[in-house]
Amino acid sequence: MGTLMLAKSATRIAILGISTINSNNARRINVSEMHSRGDSLLVVGSPFGLLSPFHFFNSIISVGAVANCLPPYSVRSSLLMADIHCLPGMEGAPVFDKNSCLVGLLMPPLRQKGSNIEVQLVIPWDAICTGWNNKKLEGIGGDPSELPDKNADTKTMELRRFVSSKVNKINQYCISPSSIREAISAVVLVTVGESSWASGIILNKRGLVLTNAHLLEPWRFGRTSPSGVQTSFAGEYLNARENKSLQPQQCKFSNEDAVKHEVSLFNLGFKREKRISVRLDHAERQMWCNACVAFISKGPLDVALLQMEKVPIELNTIRPEFVCPTAGSSVYVVGHGLFGPRSGLCSSLSSGVVSKVVQIPSTQLSGTVEADNMDMPVMLQTTAAVHPGASGGILVNPHGLMVGIITSNAKHGAGSTIPHLNFSIPCKSLETIFTYSEIGEPAILEQLDKLNEVLSSVWALAPSSSPFIDNPPEKTKEEKVLEFSKFLSDKQATLKSSTDLKELFKHKMPSKI
């Protein structure tokens, strides 16, 4: 579905008049005109309102951010995608920004067939007013392209200003997107042949791109934990028609003789006949560039490096933060989740917190030397939404610094993914890659090819292999028989009389199951 069709299908609204309204009980506020990815959003809604208005009228205040804007590169957006939690019945609720200005109205969510994935949609107030004026001109035979000044329409201005008053303390939920816009521009779309797509991160001005190894070698990463929880890779597949939109476009390149990274000798397993393309999203256009494999990790970390064959002049790089964030820290995920090359959309943003930092002793990492036997962070879990296609995307902090690379999210044994439980490799574990991006010495990457059972067990979600759990030794058959005999004798001693039996059922047996 194209962006224009998506916008038209999601913006069906009705405008109602209230005869009892007056200036005494109406709250007048300003309207937010411009919208960017990462802008703060607050929704005030009434879920299940008909069930009990006393309980549910304006009972939900949900905070989130703008995930994407449609159409891309437009000064004024016709439709917004929102990273925000909403409940049934909140459609039509007002949406506000960090300055308590009205952004627009919440629309029915976009749902993916065959899954529980939802994308919240918001129609901006400016688009509503434009459509309102168009409809009025069509009714009197006017030309919709000749729009009157909206400021001259008193009723339209009243619609702009009349909103709910539930935004007095919205600034306490405010985020600052200006600091992460530079990080957003460092995220690229990566396609492999005609079959799959994911995200990538630009590391340096010479066109080195970091992504996930499972995009190139998916057969190596089938992970399932003993409890039935699986890791689902946030990559996506293309159909045959996608190839029409993947032709490289003309763009300005730097000197072709510029220094580039040598192709590593450790990536012989990749099928070279598949074409790899990288799409860069700049201020007003998208540029496609061919790329080749520079490195694929053979170790437990799901990372790979691509080298752009021609390096564009306009290239924004990521800035890493090697100090690992703590649990509860705010983070943002930026990647090309759900919407692939055919959609034409830029990368989407979602927000959340670090829910868990998995660490192991540095002595468990081969080739790693840390003073005082410090614990090394090897995995980050976050609550930010991660969808298929976001593999290789960035995890950034509020200062716009990269703290990790997205690899996968959790998946139920039945097959459904859990978007808000996902896993990232912290930058602390990627210092070798950032060192290589600076000096370009392939031998540095040999450390990532070393096998490590402890690290592999962490990423396999295998608690039995955890170095922190002291598993008791396996009991022999004779010991198990003696233990069971002791259990029977203890129970027999407990049930000597009917009184003891009653006491057992009273205190030992639960009343409900």
CA distance 311 to 423: 31
* Strand ranges in 76-174 using DSSP code E only, listed in sequence order: 79-83, 94-96, 102-111, 118-124, 162-163
- As given in the structure block, the two tokens for residue 357 are 């930092």
Sequence-distant (6+) residues with CB within 8 A of 311 are 205, 206, 207, 253, 254, 258, 260, 289
CA distance 87 to 100: 22
| Residue 387 annotated in active site | no
- As given in the structure block, the two tokens for residue 41 are 């959003």
Could you tell me which of 382, 283, 278 has the C-alpha nearest to residue 334?
382
- Return the DSSP state at 5: H
Question: Could you say which of 214, 261, 336, 387 is catalytic?
Answer: 214
Q: Half-sphere exposure of 188 toward its Cβ, with a 13 Å CA cutoff?
A: 32
Cα angle: 361, vertex 396, 270; to 5 degrees = 75
Could you tell me which of 446, 447, 451 has the C-alpha nearest to residue 264?
446
Question: Could you say which of 100, 277, 302, 348 is catalytic?
Answer: 302
**Bridge partners, 291 (sequence order):** 276, 308
Three-class SS of residue 137? helix
Confirm if 180 and 347 have CB atoms less than 8 A apart: no
- As given in the structure block, the two tokens for residue 1 are 């579905």
Three-class SS of residue 446? helix
| Residue 302 annotated in active site | yes
Bridge pairing between strands 348-361 and 375-382: antiparallel
CA atoms 25, 29, 31, 32: torsion sign:
negative
Q: Half-sphere exposure of 200 toward its Cβ, with a 13 Å CA cutoff?
A: 32
Question: Could you say which of 185, 264, 350, 391 is catalytic?
Answer: 391
What is the DSSP secondary-structure string of 158-214? HHHHEE-S--TTGGGG---GGGGHHHHTTEEEEEETTTEEEEEEE-STT-EEEE-GG
- As given in the structure block, the two tokens for residue 260 are 């580039």
- As given in the structure block, the two tokens for residue 347 are 């990368």
What is the DSSP secondary-structure string of 447-505? GGGS--HHHHHHHTT-GGG-TT--PPPPPPHHHHHHHHHHHHHHHHHHTSSHHHHHHHH
Q: Which are the catalytic amino acids?
A: 214, 302, 391
